[in-house]
Amino acid sequence: MTTTISAPPQREASRAKRLKARTHEVHEGVDRSIMSAASFANLERYERFLAVQYLFHHDVAALYEDTGLQALFPGLAARQRLHLVAADLTDLQLDPPQTMTPVFVSGDTVDIPTALGWLYVAEGSNMGAALLRKEAAKIGLSDDHGARHLAPAPAGPAPHWRAFTAALDSVTLDETEESRVGDGAIAAFARVQDHVDARLG
């Protein structure tokens, strides 16, 4: 008789890839909500989408100013996009939406593992931006007018993302901290979904 001992499932080596798998469903939910709300059908719909982006980037803006996170992610401060969303609103002669207290408050101590999950979502949203930028162009918006926050990074979206995930993957964490990264990413998508439901619903 042969006994088969199955090997334990291999844990994906890259934290970014693990996060992608863990958040697949919630990401699809957000994608679906944004696209089914016809966010790029006309300016009025797009303005609601811009409010969602403003609220989410407002939630995470403090992370980009955090010195602990800046030490882990070279060039982190320059990755912030809240000012670009604000400029898009100005282009379209809109006021920023009324904000609540952001999830991360400037000057507060952040839990680094949780913050990594949130940053993964904020930075990853650039990947979808390439697609959304094409939709925005169809209603007359561009990298210089109204859709600045969807413009690719000067280095190109893929190298920009790879630089981020390389830094994300190289942070050493124990198991408990690791699970807080995943929880952070799930919470970030849930927050985006809340903004979407409130503004695009």
Binding site for ligand HEM (CB under 6 A): 16, 20, 27, 30-31, 34-35, 56, 120-121, 124-125, 127-128, 131-132, 192
Check residue 113 and give left, alpha or beta (phi > 0: left; psi -120 to 50: alpha).
Answer: alpha
Q: Please, what is the minimum distance in Å from the beta carbon of residue 122 to ligand HEM?
A: 7
Q: Please, what is the minimum distance in Å from the beta carbon of residue 28 to ligand HEM?
A: 9
Residues 6 or more apart whose Cβ sits within 8 Å of residue 147: 88, 133, 136, 137, 141
In 10 A of CB 130, how many CB atoms? 14
Q: Report the alpha-carbon distance of residue 148 to residue 142 in Å, rounded.
A: 7
Residue number, 5 or 11, with CB nearest to ligand HEM = 11
Residue number, 7 or 13, with CB nearest to ligand HEM = 13
b/e map 33-45, b = 16+ CB within 10 Å? bbeebebbeeeee
Q: Which two tokens stand for residue 81?
A: 């996009």
Residue number, 55 or 62, with CB nearest to ligand HEM = 55
Residue at shortest CB range from ligand HEM: 124
Phi, psi of 145 (to 5 degrees): -150, 105
Q: Please, what is the minimum distance in Å from the beta carbon of residue 6 to ligand HEM?
A: 28
Residue number, 22 or 62, with CB nearest to ligand HEM = 22
Q: Please, what is the minimum distance in Å from the beta carbon of residue 1 to ligand HEM?
A: 44
Residue number, 3 or 183, with CB nearest to ligand HEM = 183
Mutual angle of helices 112-137 and 43-64, in 10-degree steps = 150
HSE-up (13 A, CA, CB side) for residue 134:
4
Residue number, 16 or 82, with CB nearest to ligand HEM = 16
Q: Please, what is the minimum distance in Å from the beta carbon of residue 159 to ligand HEM?
A: 14
Q: Report the alpha-carbon distance of residue 154 to residue 173 in Å, rounded.
A: 31
Q: Please, what is the minimum distance in Å from the beta carbon of residue 55 to ligand HEM?
A: 10
